[in-house]
Structure 1
Amino acid sequence: MPGFEDVWRPPVQRRPRRPETVLRPRTLGAVRARLQRIARRAPEVMVKVTGRTRDPAHLAAHLTYITRNGDLPAEGRDGIVAEGRQEMIELAQDWSAAAVMDSRRRANSPFSVAIILSMPAGTGAIRLRDAARAFAAAEFEHGFDYVLVLHTDQAHPHVHLTVRALGELGVRLNPKKADLDRWRQTFAEALRDRGVDAEATPRRTRGVTRKPERGALRRIRERHARGQGGMGRVASEKLKAAAQLAFGGPPKPTPWEEQMARRQQAVRRLYLAQAKLLQASGDADDRRLAIEIEGFVRGMPAPDSERLAIARQLRDANARVVVARKSGARERDR
């Protein structure tokens, strides 16, 4: 998809292309199909690395956890299903022994990498599991051992995929951002092959400018909300900065907020350039898609940052307090 991939793939260094060169005949079908999925806001897949184990006890605890102490079956790379807590412990022992015997292993080298594959609520669990199975085979079958476990105890079904960090040829699994992007694409395609509407695009493609909250910070925040600990240094610093912004006069955008706005403007221009090309098509379906793309761009949220969002919350909370105090004063005067 030359020329338009900057919208839905991580930015890379490339020569700029004019919009007229985007929809070439050999890629027209693929571009149109993806534009249709994006315009109708197809459900986004989630592929997330949730952690790594670094010692035998940790690995055994992880495998028994994802199988609910052996109650849930775990499927291996060879398709064999392992059941029971003891089988998970034995698998952990096998992986750990190989890792410890690796002469090139560092003290903190992981034994395994934990991945979660998920879709929004309403996705069929069996199709999700089959897509996860296809994803794991495509990415790891020829180099890394793994086990996958389906969980259906929450509103959205998800699969825990644990991959042995040490590959058969001595290569270690160390996923980077580009790997995660490819994994999402592979998983989304596997879902679509099984009749599940799915897409894998960067946040900026959908007009989302705020990064998701990190798991560790979320857990600290949740414990603080339950009265089980302090707010945390990072959250406290964010709150102070937002308070200065909320009550210190008109907000001045930071350099990264300005860059964020420029990036979203560029994304909007690229979408509208595609819509313009489609509007000139003699195909009625293309012209309808152009209208959908324009509507999608109009519905994109305005650029936002966590700092600005917290400042708005503080201003709103302060306004409610002021209104409540005035209302109370009027009641007392009566």
Structure 2
Amino acid sequence: MNDFRIPSGFEEALRPPVRTRRARLTQAVLGAGAAGEARAARARLQRMVRRAPEVMVKITGRTRDGGHLQRHLDYITRNGKLFLEGPDGESLSGRAEVRTLAEDWRDELLVAPQRRDAPVSLSIVLSMPAGTDEGRVHDAARAFAANLFADRHPYVFALHTDDRHPHVHLTVRALGRDGERLNPRKADLQLWRETFAAALRDRGVEAEATPRRARGVVRKAERTPVRKLRERFERGDGPLPKTLAGALESAARPPSSEPVWEARLRQRQSAIRRRLVVEALRLQASKADGDRRLGQDLERFIRTLPPILTQREILARALAGVRGGADRRRDQIRER
């Protein structure tokens, strides 16, 4: 029997990036009660130190009219070649049925009072790393959508397997059956990640939805439009994105003193790591074999965390490497 408790550092590392009580659309996944929370925390810590695959749940866009929705549904069905699945296993196939669905959702908006720029639907992608069983991702997405939207918002989804990462495109009608509009907050998105991860685990797939800070990741994920522009630039098909150009310019001229937000970020990461070290030592001193093994795993996890570097510092190092390589080539030419 172990005496695992939830240490303050662990709470700071794994707490959601926003306050979950602000979520309007879902409820927390973790069980209630101190004992249940401790068991859930221990299981989550075990998955974290094993580096369980992280789920991705991302809102990729909103459709603004019937035509836009039709084009989006054509895209996710590969122009009618893939099936769309809705609640209760409802299946749509072919461009004609997809067009009928788009018209139905558009007509619902015409009779409901709303802003002129109100979206018709939200586009959501549920994704897992390469190698994850496609059928289980599909089944978990089905359970995810039914759990969150079945009674309130019509939806359809399609599985894509033509990419390294198996992923599901989920399209949810913004106007709910009760007239409420779908407008998720950041807290909802975190709870959506946890819900999808739990659905995968229920189907035997190792999955987690930890915040970046728990994995030692400091910089924010690259936004999809910026990533696509950067990849085009790297292929030689487009100009350097303004966002990246500005970041490179800032990295080339480092500030005279560390910005306040970077100092706070560094302090928070350092505090999290110190507290996790304390927890690793406490677990290793336990009389329970399971606790000692977990403490050893946690120590190895901490030792492999990446250095605390901001995006500006990473870009500055990259620029220094490029300049160093140029200097070495120039010296080699002079020696010839």
TM-score, normalization: structure 2? 0.89
Query: CA shift at 1:33, angstroms?
Result: 1.1
What does 1:134-149 align with in structure 2 at a 5 Å threshold?
134-149=143-158
Query: CA shift at 1:29, angstroms?
Result: 2.4
- Alpha-carbon separation, structure 2, partners of 1:271 and 1:168: 46
SS of match in other structure, 1:149: strand
Judged with a 3 Å threshold, the aligned counterparts in structure 2 of structure 1 residues 100 and 284 are, in CA distance, closer, same or farther, namely same
Where does residue 275 of structure 1 map in the other structure?
280
Query: CA shift at 1:12, angstroms?
Result: 6.2
Aligned residues: 318
- Alpha-carbon separation, structure 2, partners of 1:11 and 1:114: 22
SS of match in other structure, 1:199: coil
Do 2:46 and 2:294's aligned partners in 1 also have CA atoms closer than 8 Å?
yes
- Alpha-carbon separation, structure 2, partners of 1:328 and 1:75: 63
Query: CA shift at 1:122, angstroms?
Result: 0.6
User: How large is the Cα RMSD of the aligned pairs?
Assistant: 2.0
SS of match in other structure, 2:253: helix
Where does residue 301 of structure 2 map in the other structure?
296
Do 1:54 and 1:111's aligned partners in 2 also have CA atoms closer than 8 Å?
yes
The code of the aligned residue for 1:290 comes to: G
Could you tell me which of 57, 61, 85 is aligned with 1:51?
Answer: 61
Query: CA shift at 1:11, angstroms?
Result: 5.0
SS of match in other structure, 1:144: coil
Do 1:135 and 1:190's aligned partners in 2 also have CA atoms closer than 8 Å?
yes
Q: Which runs of 5+ in 2 are unaligned?
A: 1-5, 20-32
Q: Which runs of 5+ in 1 are unaligned?
A: 14-22
Where does residue 10 of structure 1 map in the other structure?
16
Do 2:7 and 2:279's aligned partners in 1 also have CA atoms closer than 8 Å?
no
Query: CA shift at 1:25, angstroms?
Result: 4.3
- Alpha-carbon separation, structure 2, partners of 1:56 and 1:283: 61
1:321 aligns to 2:326 (yes or no): yes
The code of the aligned residue for 1:110 comes to: P
The code of the aligned residue for 2:244 comes to: A
Judged with a 3 Å threshold, the aligned counterparts in structure 2 of structure 1 residues 49 and 69 are, in CA distance, closer, same or farther, namely same
SS of match in other structure, 1:303: coil
Where does residue 317 of structure 2 map in the other structure?
312
TM-score, normalization: structure 1? 0.90
Could you tell me which of 108, 115, 121 is aligned with 1:106?
Answer: 115
SS of match in other structure, 1:78: helix
Could you tell me which of 98, 102, 119 is aligned with 1:88?
Answer: 98
The code of the aligned residue for 2:59 comes to: V
Could you tell me which of 210, 214, 217 is aligned with 2:219?
Answer: 210
Higher relative CO (Cα under 8 Å, sequence separation at least 6) belongs to 2
Query: CA shift at 1:99, angstroms?
Result: 1.3
Query: CA shift at 1:227, angstroms?
Result: 3.9
- Alpha-carbon separation, structure 1, partners of 2:110 and 2:225: 28
- Alpha-carbon separation, structure 2, partners of 1:223 and 1:289: 44
Deviations 1:12-58 (A, max 9, x none): 68xxxxxxxxx964433222211110001000000011000011110
Where does residue 170 of structure 1 map in the other structure?
179
- Alpha-carbon separation, structure 2, partners of 1:134 and 1:26: 23
Where does residue 83 of structure 2 map in the other structure?
73
Deviations 1:197-250 (A, max 9, x none): 0000000010000111111112222333344443233222212111113xx9xx
1:33 aligns to 2:43 (yes or no): yes
Do 2:128 and 2:167's aligned partners in 1 also have CA atoms closer than 8 Å?
yes
Query: Identity rate of aligned residues, in percent?
Result: 50
The code of the aligned residue for 2:13 comes to: V
The code of the aligned residue for 1:206 comes to: R
Judged with a 3 Å threshold, the aligned counterparts in structure 2 of structure 1 residues 226 and 287 are, in CA distance, closer, same or farther, namely closer
Judged with a 3 Å threshold, the aligned counterparts in structure 2 of structure 1 residues 44 and 160 are, in CA distance, closer, same or farther, namely same
